[in-house]
């Protein structure tokens, strides 16, 4: 694997394990595109694998205490993320106040293997009072457009496996985020566990990624027409208050560079 890179001084170099190895190391991980402009990449490819998955919706049940039970059911689902990642399942769940929806995939897994992992979890979610709808994805083209035209501020934390062992802590996080008027909460399971299994690769990925089970992103609406002063106040409050809600579960206060709050 190697990169052809245009450096900030205009020099064109080839970065690989022998030539500019420091640049090659930095490009294979994080950095926000600050090292140069990559104009060509040569990489190792792998055989294509079949992918099975499902489109998931979790909604409150009909109980008179459905709101409380819904939070409990969602918290339980989040605590099961280690089982998902260990089994090669990843996805993009989005939590709102009244539902959870998202697409989940499991590369190189059969439908039976996916069902064996997910059905016991779904059964427990239903037992806790929520409604679960799971639809095989197959060739479905999923389009979500209800957030078009909305300006969000984004923040994130990398959540540890040990933090998910206490369901009461997860419920407390969900309730606090809701009290902070966080519009979207997205506890993404980290790449089906592969990031952790690749911990021996010497690349510039933040070490916390290797132990994180969830990349938890939160989004809060803001007025795009705010004055610079008001926008600064909003970002400061979001960073110092909303994002810090996740700190107690993080590895340690680590986040994904491209999805952080910057005040």
Residue 205's pLDDT is 86
What torsion do the CA atoms of 61, 66, 67, 68 make, to the nearest 10 degrees?
-120
Asked whether 153 and 238 are in contact (CB, 8 A), the reply is: yes
Give the global pTM. Answer: 0.86
Q: pLDDT per position in the chain (263 positions), as tens?
A: 899 999 999 999 999 999 999 999 998 876 666 789 999 999 888 888 888 999 999 999 876 566 889 999 999 999 999 999 999 999 999 998 889 999 999 988 999 999 999 999 999 999 999 999 999 886 444 444 455 556 888 899 999 888 999 999 999 999 999 888 899 999 999 987 888 888 898 888 888 889 899 999 999 988 888 899 998 899 889 988 999 999 988 877 888 877 777 54
Residue 224's pLDDT is 80
> How does DSSP classify residue 119?
H
Distance in angstroms (rounded) separating the CA atoms of residues 99 and 92: 14
Distance in angstroms (rounded) separating the CA atoms of residues 72 and 129: 9
Cα separation values, 84 from 43, 58, 187, 221, 238, Å? 28, 16, 12, 30, 30
Residue 145's pLDDT is 46
Residue 138's pLDDT is 61
Residue 262's pLDDT is 57
Residue 86's pLDDT is 93
Closest CA to 51 of 137, 143, 118, 141: 137
Residue 142's pLDDT is 44
Residue 263's pLDDT is 41
């Amino acid at each position: 694997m190697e990169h052809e890179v245009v450096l900030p001084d205009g020099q064109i170099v080839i970065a690989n394990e022998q030539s500019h190895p420091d640049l090659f190391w930095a490009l294979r991980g994080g950095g926000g595109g600050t090292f140069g402009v990559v104009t060509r990449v040569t990489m190792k490819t792998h055989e294509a694998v079949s992918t099975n998955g499902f489109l998931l919706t979790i909604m409150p049940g009909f109980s008179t205490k459905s709101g409380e039970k819904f939070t409990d059911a969602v918290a339980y689902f989040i605590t099961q993320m280690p089982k998902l990642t260990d089994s090669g399942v990843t996805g993009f769940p989005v939590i709102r106040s009244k539902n959870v929806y998202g697409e989940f995939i499991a590369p190189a897994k059969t439908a039976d293997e996916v069902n064996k992992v997910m059905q016991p979890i779904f059964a427990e979610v239903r037992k806790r009072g929520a409604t679960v709808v799971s639809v095989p994805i197959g060739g479905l083209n999923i389009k979500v457009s209800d957030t078009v035209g909305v300006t969000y501020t984004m923040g994130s934390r990398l959540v540890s496996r040990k933090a998910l062992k206490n369901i009461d802590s997860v419920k407390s996080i969900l309730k606090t985020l809701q009290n902070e008027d966080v519009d979207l909460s997205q506890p993404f399971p980290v790449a089906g566990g592969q990031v952790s299994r690749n911990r021996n690769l010497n690349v510039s990925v933040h070490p916390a990624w290797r132990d994180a089970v969830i990349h938890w992103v939160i989004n809060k609406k803001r007025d795009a027409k705010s004055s610079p002063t008001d926008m600064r106040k909003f970002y400061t409050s979001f960073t110092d208050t909303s994002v810090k809600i996740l700190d107690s579960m993080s590895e340690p206060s680590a986040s994904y560079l491209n999805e952080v709050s910057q005040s």
